[in-house]
Amino acid sequence: MNRSCKGRPSALITLPKKAVLFFLVTSSIGSAYAAEHVKSEALLSIGRAARVLNEISKNSQAVPDGVLNSTKCIVVIPSITGATVSVSADGIASCREAPDRWSAPAFVKFDGHGIRAHRTDLLVFVLSDTGVRALRSGELQIRGQKRAPAPLVNRNPVTTQLELAAESLTYEVSAGVISNSEARGFIRGDADTADPIPYPVPTKTKDKYLSSVVSFFNTITPTGIVIHHTAVIPGKNRVPRSEREVDNYHRERGFEILCFNRLYHIAYHYLIMPNGRVKAGRPERCEGAHAAGYNSYLGISVVGDFSSEDNPTGANGPITPSPKQIASLIQLCRRLKDRYNIPLQHIVRHSDISSTKCPGDRFPFRSILDQLQREPDGAKPGRG
């Protein structure tokens, strides 16, 4: 098994000991009834924010990997309605404490204008330390992005440093589609009222929300394909016999990912067995853990050890991919290429992007690329 690398690089922020929570407390709260009302509204926004993130993860996650990797805090303002002029709406903020750990949901309020759709959710990705400090001190300004729109995968799959230098990037989600937002205004929370907490968020609600946040940041829109061989499972000294064996091995190595609110271990998206059977690894829309810096690429691993140095006589297993494996690989690559509009140049060997022998010198990569370049028999040219 070749060296794989875990998940996204971290965009860590150090939170103070006293967890920072923003609370929306209106001065007009005079009765227990009003307090209860604010409380239930706030708790409702947590549920709504989680649903927004789940929906985007499932359907239209088009925020580039580069942005997701660099995000230090996420603010979700769900269900803004009828906001053509100005808007004041409740939302939820959470900041990254570790690659896969986020701070408890905090209540914030958005006051601003420039929302396009009649009914929309607003998503603010805070990228810089200045942005984090502003949010934590209770007022983050959103300046609108008319000149430099927030990047989307289909337009620019490679995020530029300039885009990542922004303090924050704002997106709108309307009718299930995520797009750049020109909204301007302020995200406000009152950090001073955070201690003592006027009402605790139930653990179940909090956990559900945090699971949605982690899952959201672990989804990808695939932008390429990396081809691997499995090589041998250390300790077993033979190639894996099933996807379960790979899953177990990757579980031991800590390649787990929470995605669509479920846990996966196998680092690859697909495994191709010697008989040509294609076995599913983690779902296509979940970030891989198979190639450092290329985890928005899909990982396909061909069972065998195709390195003449490591497996000269075949003692470790197949020394070249079987014709059935090659046929399956080409078919699978074609399908994924079409599904995600992946250019041929984004289909690479692991060794093309990392210092590894994977998938070995006996792997017929050129001939596979040549075949991919030719349209399959019976395919209509000029499709789409």
| Residue number with CB closer to Zn ion (3 or 133) | 3
With contact defined as beta carbons under 8 Å apart, do 101 and 84 qualify?
no
Residue 228 as a binder of Zn ion (CB under 5 A): the answer is yes
Stretch that binds Zn ion, among 220-228, 256-264, 327-335, 374-382 (CB under 5 A): 220-228
Instruction: Report the Cα 322 to chain-centroid distance in Å.
Output: 34
In terms of C-beta distances under 8 Å and separation of at least 24 residues, what long-range contacts does 324-327 make, across chains too? 324/274, 324/275, 324/276, 325/272, 325/273, 325/274, 325/276, 326/364, 326/368, 327/276
Stretch that binds Zn ion, among 9-17, 51-59, 203-211, 346-354 (CB under 5 A): 346-354
Residue 350 as a binder of Zn ion (CB under 5 A): the answer is yes
> Least CB distance from residue 339 to Zn ion, whole Å?
22
Residue 358 as a binder of Zn ion (CB under 5 A): the answer is yes
**3 state SS of 67:** helix
Task: Please state whether 77 falls in left (phi above 0), alpha (psi between -120 and 50) or beta.
Answer: beta
With contact defined as beta carbons under 8 Å apart, do 239 and 359 qualify?
no
| Residue number with CB closer to Zn ion (163 or 305) | 305
| Cβ burial 341-373 (10 Å sphere, 16+ → b, else e) | ebeeebbbbbbeebebbbbbebbebeebbebbe
> Least CB distance from residue 237 to Zn ion, whole Å?
18
Provide the token pair at 169: 């990037």
| Residue number with CB closer to Zn ion (195 or 352) | 352
| Residue number with CB closer to Zn ion (115 or 267) | 267
Binding mask 294-333 for Zn ion (x = CB under 5 A): ----------------------------------------
Binding mask 117-156 for Zn ion (x = CB under 5 A): ----------------------------------------
| Residue number with CB closer to Zn ion (286 or 289) | 289
> Least CB distance from residue 2 to Zn ion, whole Å?
3
> Least CB distance from residue 378 to Zn ion, whole Å?
33
> Least CB distance from residue 203 to Zn ion, whole Å?
40
Residue 195 burial (10 A CB sphere; 0-12, 13-18, 19+): exposed
> Least CB distance from residue 358 to Zn ion, whole Å?
3
With contact defined as beta carbons under 8 Å apart, do 181 and 116 qualify?
yes
Residues 165-194 that bind Zn ion (CB under 5 A): none
Total residues binding Zn ion (CB under 5 A)? 4
**3 state SS of 141:** strand
Instruction: Report the Cα 78 to chain-centroid distance in Å.
Output: 20
Stretch that binds Zn ion, among 54-62, 107-115, 222-230, 323-331 (CB under 5 A): 222-230
Residues 125 and 53: their CA atoms lie apart, in Å, by: 13
| Residue number with CB closer to Zn ion (115 or 291) | 291
| Residue number with CB closer to Zn ion (2 or 71) | 2
Look at the chain and count its residues: 384
| Residue number with CB closer to Zn ion (207 or 352) | 352
Task: Catalog residues that contact Zn ion under the rule CB under 5 A.
Answer: 2, 228, 350, 358
